[in-house]
Structure 1
Amino acid sequence: MEFSELLSAMALKVKNQRDAITTEEGTKNAFVMPFISTILGYDVFNPLEVVPEFTADVGIKKGEKIDYAIMRDGEVQILIECKKSTESLKIENASQLYRYFAVTNARIAILTNGVIYEFYTDLDAPNRMDAKPFLVLDLLDIDETLSPELRKLTKDVFDLDSIINAAGELKYVGQIKRTIAAQFRDPEDEWIRFFTARVYEGPITQKVRDQFTPLVTKAAKQFLNEQVNERLKSALGGSNFSTADPALQEDAVTSRAVAQDDLDRDTEIETTLEELEGYQIVKAIACSEVKPQRVVHRDSKSYLAILLDDNNRKPIARLHFNGKSVKYLGLLDSEKNETRHTIDSLDDIYQHAAHIRETVRSYE
């Protein structure tokens, strides 16, 4: 699998299992160890590579343990501290990371709850872990621009110097992006004042601020919706998406950018956002067996077909969503006989993951 495919598979695992994990030990076993093994490429059962419960006495602190230490050439390179997946990450709760970072050769520290991974180094002061991460990976909302930098920490291409050199830019670009996102969700007074001053002539009193707060919030959301819709229209070959419908706006925002290279067919049949999202789910499931570019879709008036190698003789599934209040997922047996399964939401497709994978394997 390509590195991006591994990340997608890991994200799917977290999404499917997160609600069932309620302890720190469960988080380590279900999420963190597979991340170290699958994503970073280290053998979690080889103590020369990964040391669980790593101990290094610090001053008067004796016997304190860090959850994992990743080793290279006998030296500690990466320290990992874990919290349970239901717990939010707070740097003030990572005191062991601070202490161990100062007394080992590690240049990278990771604080994680198995869903979000915060990567730290010592940009501000040598051998002292920064208070803010230089890279934040959220497996439920992966920023694809971070993938090349994350890959530099993997076993096969470990490039510490390169990632440390890039850490400063990553840190501040990431913080700026998260700040912008926060302003879109809940704008602060300074943000409101900034835009109000550019469109309103006159003193900005409290009454004016109260008037413009919902206007700035509404304008920001509409701008974001329009940008997403433009990308979708481009991906779908110019199909018309009206931003006047609030429900469609919400769908556009939550669906994000749909894989544009998978939508290159110019047909008279309208492929809906819901069909595309369903296709992406089936594709993500099938990626455990084949490369993602081999899983394609063809739309028709009655259903959207998902095929292996763009071959009608290799159907994986069918989505019967066209204008119906009840939606069906069509699955096929070895004789190509279709059985339709009612689905209440797109997440119900994951319940049929085993059948989808078995169908893909049958063609190999």
Structure 2
Amino acid sequence: MADFAKNLLYTREIKRLMAKQLISPSPEFVKFFTSQVYTGRLTESVVSKFTEITQRSLKEFINDRITDRLKSAIDLPDNTTTVSQFTEEQNETEAEPENEFVVTDQEMEGLYIVKAILREIADISHLKFKATKNYFGINFDGKVSKTVCRLWFKSSRKFIGIIDADGKEAKKAISQLDEIYGIAEILKDRAKYLTQNISKQSKTVELSES
């Protein structure tokens, strides 16, 4: 049990360090990758140049991973909302008065499932919801631009929609709420993408061997 607890702490600390490198790569981190693709001398100017390249590459890698997961799990061509459509819907939704629409028990249960899925990789106290006429949106900090997913539960056919890195919404039909767990990894990837640029003050975990 003690080993399990230690491993959990180590894992969390490594994840924190990885998130920190994603936001602001250290020279050592940049040099590790640069030395494998660049044959010249790693001068200060070269490292500075590759810092930006490394940061951009990491973000593109995460974006590509999210898109690939969506394509493999959801039929994108048939159920896709374009970037411009999503932007327009954001503006319309943000202009809607709060609490105008009734929230159903199924929508709240869906929210609890999403929170349970994201609990291990995000601060779920930041997860909020936005009820609209057509769907129930789950987002970070009440911002439509940080939507994790949408629950389309207003009709007899139910869908869960996820916005990919290109701003397209992919909908997956579900017959029961438990099926949301089937796309848990996609939801986690989406949440990581949305929070990767949020700078948080993290406390360093002090580990001691016993």
TM-score, length-scaled by structure 1: 0.28
Instruction: Indicate the structure with greater helix content.
Output: 2
Pick the structure with greater CA Rg: 1
TM-score, length-scaled by structure 2: 0.47
